[in-house]
């Protein structure tokens, strides 16, 4: 059932015909990875509404989505880390939402420094081998360091807590130190849940806790 409610004939990759049922009573068929109406108009891959190709800018958008908003929402919800980070950088500006560290400014300052001076700057900003991990810290001292190494796109509600396939509202910018702390805290919480379930009900109950 599509949200636009359009009857369509769906052709899968196996070559077997199946029916795509909506509610508007318009026949359509599935061609080239997209459902199209009988008049040739495609249905947006995200909102499932029909649109005219000339109204959607960009080659990929013209083929699959009715507008840029639908394209961005689809790629975010389908787990595209590149799109999530791009949109999150636009919203948060590279600032950690827990401690307030301006990761973008730190990166821009750090990349212009040689390793000894950069290490001093990082340590002064709270980034140490202990706080962000030895391997991560070593990478931050490399000549070709990138902004993405200074922050993470964090799920506010973790995937294991049903936070997957979410929109941008469930993401936040965290510096690598805060992200490491939050990840560790969640791991402790999860182990506690498993431990209590095992104690009260038995080992089989632990299997219900998502990975």
pLDDT in tens, the chain (211 residues): 344 443 333 333 333 233 333 433 334 444 455 677 877 777 888 788 887 765 444 545 556 778 878 877 777 777 677 788 888 899 999 999 999 999 999 999 999 999 999 999 999 999 999 999 999 999 999 999 999 999 999 988 887 776 566 778 889 999 999 999 999 998 888 787 777 666 665 555 555 555 5
Q: Read off φ and ψ for residue 192, nearest 5 degrees.
A: -65, -40
Distance CA 140, CA 124 (A): 14
Q: Read off φ and ψ for residue 165, nearest 5 degrees.
A: 50, 45
Angle at 40 between CA 37 and CA 42, to 5 degrees: 65
Distance CA 51, CA 42 (A): 6
107 in helix, strand or coil?
helix
pLDDT of amino acid 207: 54
Q: Long-range pairs for 102-111 at CB < 8 Å and ≥24 separation?
A: 103/147, 103/150, 103/151, 103/173, 103/175, 104/147, 104/150, 106/150, 107/145, 107/146, 107/147, 107/149, 107/150, 108/147, 110/140, 110/145, 110/150, 111/145
pLDDT of amino acid 87: 87
pTM over 0.85: no
pLDDT of amino acid 41: 78
């Amino acid at each position: 059932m599509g949200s636009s409610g359009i009857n369509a004939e769906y052709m899968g990759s196996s070559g077997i015909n199946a029916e795509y049922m909506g509610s508007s009573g318009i026949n359509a068929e599935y061609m080239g990875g997209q459902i199209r109406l009988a008049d040739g108009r495609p249905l947006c891959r995200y909102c499932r509404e029909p649109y005219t190709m000339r109204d959607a800018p960009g080659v990929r958008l013209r083929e699959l989505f009715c507008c840029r908003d639908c394209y961005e929402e689809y790629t975010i919800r389908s787990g595209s880390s590149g799109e999530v980070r791009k949109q999150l950088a636009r919203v948060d500006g590279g600032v950690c939402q827990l401690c307030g560290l301006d990761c973008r400014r730190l990166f821009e300052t750090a990349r212009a420094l040689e390793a000894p001076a950069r290490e001093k700057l990082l340590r002064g900003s709270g980034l140490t081998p202990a706080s962000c991990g030895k391997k991560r810290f070593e990478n931050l001292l490399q000549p070709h360091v990138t902004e993405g190494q200074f922050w993470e796109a964090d799920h506010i509600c973790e995937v294991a807590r049903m936070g997957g396939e979410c929109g941008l509202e469930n993401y936040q910018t965290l510096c690598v130190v805060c992200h490491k702390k939050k990840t560790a805290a969640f791991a402790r919480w999860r182990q506690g849940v498993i431990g209590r379930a095992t104690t009260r009900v038995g080992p089989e109950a632990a299997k219900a806790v998502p990975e």
